[in-house]
Structure 1
Amino acid sequence: MQAGYAIADEFVAAPLSAADEQRLLVSFAPLVKRVVKQLELQTGGGVDREDLQQIGLMGLLDALRRYGTPDEKFAAYASVRVRGAILDELRRQDWRPRTVRQETHKMRDGVRELARKLGREPTAAETQQALGLTVEQYQEYQLAQSAEQLANFDELLQQLTEQSGDRRHSPESHLLLQRSIEQALRRLNDREQRVVQLYYEFDLSLKEIARVLDLTEARVCQINKLALKKLRELLQ
């Protein structure tokens, strides 16, 4: 699988004019809308979509000013920057109600304790029984965990992109970073690669990925969580 978010080889470019910036913001606005659609899962409706889009447009503008004239790799770079801008604002606002955060942490602690007792990752049925969860509650927990994994992986990609961008006089470092990401992706199994590709390259939501792969949303969350854990470990 070819990385859909490959790092651009060069970041040194002439500044864009104000007119060019406005034209390109309009041109790439659909990219912002796709990212917002994905990340709405993490807000549970707690943040207005228009507000998220405005934040995303600011991230897009920052990407344009850092990158310069877009080429075929810009969309992948911009997606990382837009996601990063939105996630930063969500964390700053601390949008989740305290009771939701506490309940999620309680479930996570319970799953970890169960895993220690079993000596392995518990199955969905074991987790539901041990924690007294309904199917719906367990799925909500899986979605919250998956959203957190996506946020963490977005952060890692943004950090790697910025580190690469700082090495302006070393094109070799950009190529090495791109190859590292591609090699890490090849270490995933076919289904894990497909989930990551559909999310990052084709901008599908987790619910849409479940329909494409004919899986439950909870199963997609499990595959995604494992895939992102592997990628983080390989890239770090």
Structure 2
Amino acid sequence: MSVQKKTTCSHFELWVQWKEHQDIEAKKQLIELYLPIVDFVSNRLAAGLPRNVSKDDLTSNGVLGLIDAIEKFDYLRGLQFETYASWRIRGAILDSLRSGDWVPRSVREKAKKIEEAYQVLEQQYLRTVTDAEMSQYLEVTEKDFRTMVQDVSIMTLCSLEDPIREEDSEMRISVLVDETAKNPEYKVNEHFLKSSLVEAIDKLTEKERTVVSLFYYEDLSLSEIAEVMSLSPSRISQLHSKAILRLRSVLEKNKAILMEA
């Protein structure tokens, strides 16, 4: 019975049956229909997490995020459910990891030091700084610096429920604006931040730009990128972490400029 229903009902009809008539069978079909999104998001997140983090746990929490998305999604607004669900699934997984205290305080402190170092040195030299310059600034060996970058690779993930800054109560989700209701100030800020991001990406090393492009635009996993670039997965993880830390430092600096303007 349910199989026949799946073949005769369109996605829109399933949404109507669930939202308008609270049809539990329609809800179950929507969950099954969009389960691949959970696999996609959990696989991408797993690539940057320690091995002791269970992939099954990520998937389980991702399913909870999918169910929450299906329950809260307004199908009448004409928005893409896949995009909305991806954020909800990602947020659910990261929230579960955060509640388990998966990132030690020492790792957070290392990430903050590296971000601040990139911001100070690249503002000073007006170019991409080398590992040697970073090591000298942080007063560690280059080997220790690479180890630090590897250690903070798990910090390159974020959730919409995270505060914009550690000392702020405002969350990232609060700055998301309805695509149908952009005001002029938002457009100016959006253009400024996009320009800043493009400029920051241009300052990355060639290998860092390649990793960012393959990971975020081509949807390759870190292991797949390692094969493409003929490098070890750990090296790819380092390049990804360094790129994200550089981009974060630039965006934080420019966000502060916007707030002062």
Q: What is aligned with 2:30?
A: 24
Q: What is aligned with 2:51?
A: 45
Looking at structure 2, the residues matched to 219 and 142 of structure 1 have their Cα atoms a distance apart, in angstroms, of 9
Looking at structure 1, the residues matched to 188 and 215 of structure 2 have their Cα atoms a distance apart, in angstroms, of 20
Q: Map 1:1-236 to 2 at 5 A.
A: 15=19, 17-69=23-75, 73-96=80-103, 98=104, 101-102=105-106, 105=109, 109=113, 112=116, 119=124, 123-128=130-135, 130-134=139-143, 137-151=144-158, 155=162, 159-160=173-174, 164=177, 171-173=180-182, 184-185=193-194, 187=196, 188-189=198-199, 198-200=214-216, 202-209=218-225, 217=236, 218-231=238-251, 233=254
Aligned partners of 1:149 and 1:228 also within 8 Å: no
Q: CA deviation at 1:91?
A: 0.9
How many residue pairs get aligned? The number is 214
Q: CA deviation at 1:84?
A: 0.9
Where do 5+ consecutive residues of structure 2 fail to align?
1-14, 165-170
Q: CA deviation at 1:213?
A: 6.6
Where do 5+ consecutive residues of structure 1 fail to align?
1-12
Rate the CA distance shift 1:115–1:32 in 2: closer, same or farther, 3 A.
closer
TM-score (norm 2): 0.59
Looking at structure 2, the residues matched to 230 and 185 of structure 1 have their Cα atoms a distance apart, in angstroms, of 11
Q: Deviations over 1:112-166 (max 9, x none)?
A: 57986995685212344631352xx5444324445424316784696047x546x
Aligned partners of 1:67 and 1:74 also within 8 Å: yes
Tell me the SS of whatever aligns to 2:245: helix
Identity %: 24
Q: Deviations over 1:169-223 (max 9, x none)?
A: x942499979965774455156678766654555433454565577852333333
Q: Deviations over 1:75-94 (max 9, x none)?
A: 22211111111111111100
Instruction: Give RMSD over aligned pairs.
Output: 4.5
Q: CA deviation at 1:40?
A: 2.1
Rate the CA distance shift 1:116–1:186 in 2: closer, same or farther, 3 A.
closer
Aligned partners of 1:111 and 1:127 also within 8 Å: no
Give the number of the structure whose alpha-carbon radius of gyration is greater.
2
Rate the CA distance shift 1:207–1:18 in 2: closer, same or farther, 3 A.
same
Rate the CA distance shift 1:114–1:66 in 2: closer, same or farther, 3 A.
closer
Aligned partners of 1:142 and 1:221 also within 8 Å: yes
